[in-house]
Amino acid sequence: MFDLLLRRARLVDDTVTDIAIAAGKIAALGDIDGPAAKRVDLHGEHYVSAGWIDSHVHCYPNSPIYHDEPDSVGIQTGVTTVIDAGSTGADDIDDFYAITRKASTEVYALLNISRVGLIAQNELANLNNIDADAAREAIKRHPDFIVGLKARMSSSVVGDNGITPLQRAKAIQQQNGDLPLMVHIGNNPPNLDEIAELLTSGDIITHCYNGKPNRILTPTGELRASVTRAIARGVHLDVGHGSASFSFAVAQQAIALGILPQTISSDIYCRNRIDGPVRSLANVMSKFLVIGMSLPQVIACVTDHAADGLRLKHKGRLVVGYDADLTIFDLKRQPVLFTDAENETLQAEHILTPLAAIRAGKGYMTEQGSAEHAFDL
């Protein structure tokens, strides 16, 4: 007996299949004829993918700067898994962990290398905040929750410390099983070339398409040599749209050169969720469809690429035995004017609309899905 049987689900390659779920796992795929406690027929009209993973959010409700509720940026928007990118350090990770246990969304954390987390914009201006022992103990306490490290390497954050915080972050990384390290890039110093040369396979450059002078493209529109070398070493590019870190022009130029993101993430928190320009992960994903990426490419950036980059086993793929995390969505024909972080606009004719999310086998309708009454989970 299956707990849930989704009939005639459309995949992003436009094939249609049935998906059976039992005990929080994907139990079967294909043409399925078996008993189920609940059946939902999607009639081949609605897309289903592995559950969307947002690799860069800020959802620690007690953060004084960038805060939100996990389910407001997660399950309510069709996102089944979110990774909070450094809102908390060793001092407040325990509180954040306790909060996330009450969420329907699966939440993981990138531990800020500053033990105080994001209590101010300049958390790395005081090198005493970088406490390797405190970080190690936090990772020991939460080995299944902390999936990586976060270092914000822009001038407003590091103050006069230049590249030193990143050097210390790499030392902490090496002392703790080479966890993935996500590095925020923004205004210099430190210069992006200094940053890129320190990064190694599995590290992540977030805000990769920002429009600031310290960006991945040279003034003549070529990819910086240091970033080319970093990518060749296995460094990943993450979007991290945010309020000030995404430029249509930079993304279009880079993608035209074949420099695609490994992951598409939102850098969402309450203000840019409500007031824009982020709104939701679906909104950010839709922008990349306009820029020229295909639907399968965009979905891969929030499913298998995201799961692989942060070593999330049993997520990101529609595979028997994997977690029953799924996102049901439409690609609607709807004129929309998108805005980037530079206040530039781009006209689109389609938008991704999440209708429902299934997390560990349990269904949740989004606001759009409930309004359409197309099906009921």
Are residue 152 and residue 290 in the same domain, yes or no?
yes
Helix (H) or strand (E) holding 53: strand 52-57
Confidence check: pLDDT of 98 > 90: yes
Question: At 125, is the pLDDT very low, low, confident or very high (cuts 50, 70, 90)?
Answer: very high
Residue 129: which domain range?
52-310
Tens-digit pLDDT profile for residues 145-165: 999 999 999 999 999 999 999
Q: Is position 207 annotated in a ligand binding site?
A: yes
Tens-digit pLDDT profile for residues 22-34: 999 999 999 998 9
Confidence check: pLDDT of 372 > 90: no
Tens-digit pLDDT profile for residues 174-206: 999 999 999 999 999 999 999 999 999 999 999
Output the pLDDT for position 373: 83
Task: List, in order, residues 6 or more apart from 371 with CB less than 8 Å away.
Answer: none
Residue 377 counted as domain residue: no
What secondary structure letter does DSSP report for 222? Answer: P
Cα-based angle 108, 110, 113 (whole degrees, multiple of 5): 150
Residue type, 137: E
Of the chain, the end-to-end C-alpha distance in Å amounts to 17
Average pLDDT over residues 318-324: 98
Are residue 193 and residue 111 in the same domain, yes or no?
yes
Tokens of 314: 């049993």
**pLDDT, mean over the chain:** 98
Output the pLDDT for position 137: 98
Are residue 17 and residue 83 in the same domain, yes or no?
no
Residue listed under structure tokens 């406490």: 131
Confidence check: pLDDT of 57 > 90: yes
Q: Is position 56 annotated in a ligand binding site?
A: yes
Output the pLDDT for position 374: 83
Are residue 153 and residue 166 in the same domain, yes or no?
yes
Are residue 153 and residue 15 in the same domain, yes or no?
no
Confidence check: pLDDT of 321 > 90: yes
Q: How many angstroms separate the CA atoms of 135 and 130, rounded? A: 8
Q: Output the domain CATH number for residue 136.
A: 3.20.20.140
DSSP for 61-97 reads TT-SSS---HHHHTGGGTEEEEEEESS--TTTHHHHH
Residue 215 counted as domain residue: yes
Q: Is position 58 annotated in a ligand binding site?
A: yes
Residue 64 counted as domain residue: yes
Q: Is position 241 annotated in a ligand binding site?
A: no
Q: How many angstroms separate the CA atoms of 336 and 350, rounded? A: 7
Q: Is position 150 annotated in a ligand binding site?
A: yes
Average pLDDT over residues 91-102: 98
Residue 223 counted as domain residue: yes
